[in-house]
Amino acid sequence: MDFMQVVLIVLVLVGIWAVAEIAMTVRRARQSVDTLDKTVGEVNDAIAEARPVISKLDGVLDDLGPALSQVEPLLKQANVAVEALSADLIEVNGVLRDVSSVTGTVSTASGAVSGIADAASEKVQKFFAKKVRHTDFPGRALVPSEDEASEPAGTIEVEDDVFDASSAHYFTYDAAQGDDCDEC
């Protein structure tokens, strides 16, 4: 075999190998194109599904246009209302200060009246010295303490010295007399 035949055999083998490689490359390219075609089809389907949503969003944005134009006046009105409320709260605070001062004045007047009543009560206590016994209701008669048992019932004793709480005489109910009261 001569050199030319060997080169031709090698060239035929290389040609067959090249055709096989091209066929395999075309086959892989076809699979890639099919996959790409499926992906493009899915993207087209997604876009087709998104179009109604996008058109609805466009409609919503068109509807929101007038509402958005009304938000600014509403915000201005809300600002005015908040300022008015703040002014009203300042007035309420002033009224509360006035009420507080009136309450303080009433408290002072109440203290004065209480002082006058205490003084009058003290004078009455000095005058009568808390030695009054009542015998109008025999079922509820007060039993005097032991040191007062010698004095006659129904007497009023007047002392000139200042009333002393430690020298006050207290009356207690007898246990037997307290139980027979039907009106209690």
- Is position 98 within any domain? no
Q: DSSP per residue over 114-152, as a string?
A: HHHHHHHHHHHHHHHTT-----S-GGGPPBPPGGGTTSP
For the record, the structure tokens of 140 come out as 């509820």
pLDDT of residue 73: 85
Q: How many CA atoms lie within 13 A of 74 on its CB side?
A: 6
- Is position 69 within any domain? no
For the record, the structure tokens of 9 come out as 């055999």
- Is position 86 within any domain? no
In whole angstroms, what is the distance from residue 35 CA to residue 31 CA?
Answer: 6
141 pLDDT higher than 50: no
- Is position 65 within any domain? no
> Which one, of 179, 108, 88, 95, lies nearest residue 139 by Cα?
179
In tens, the pLDDT along 28-50 reads 999 999 999 999 999 999 999 99
- Is position 83 within any domain? no
- Is position 162 within any domain? yes
pLDDT of residue 183: 52
- Is position 163 within any domain? yes
In tens, the pLDDT along 102-130 reads 888 888 888 888 889 888 888 888 888 75
> Which one, of 143, 152, 145, lies nearest residue 177 by Cα?
143
Q: Is 165 helix (H, G, I), strand (E, B) or coil?
A: helix
Q: In terms of pTM, does the model score above 0.85? A: no
- Is position 7 within any domain? no
Number of domains in the chain: 1
What residue numbers bound the domain in which 139 lies? 129-179
* Distance from the Cα of residue 27 to its chain's centroid: 73
* Long-range CB pairs of 116-121, under 8 A, 24+ apart, other chains included: none
Could you give the residue ranges of the DSSP H alpha helices within the chain? Answer: 3-128, 175-179
Which has more pLDDT, 121 or 180?
Answer: 121
Residue with tokens 């006046």: 73
Q: Specify whether the CB–CB gap between 162 and 129 falls below 8 A.
A: no
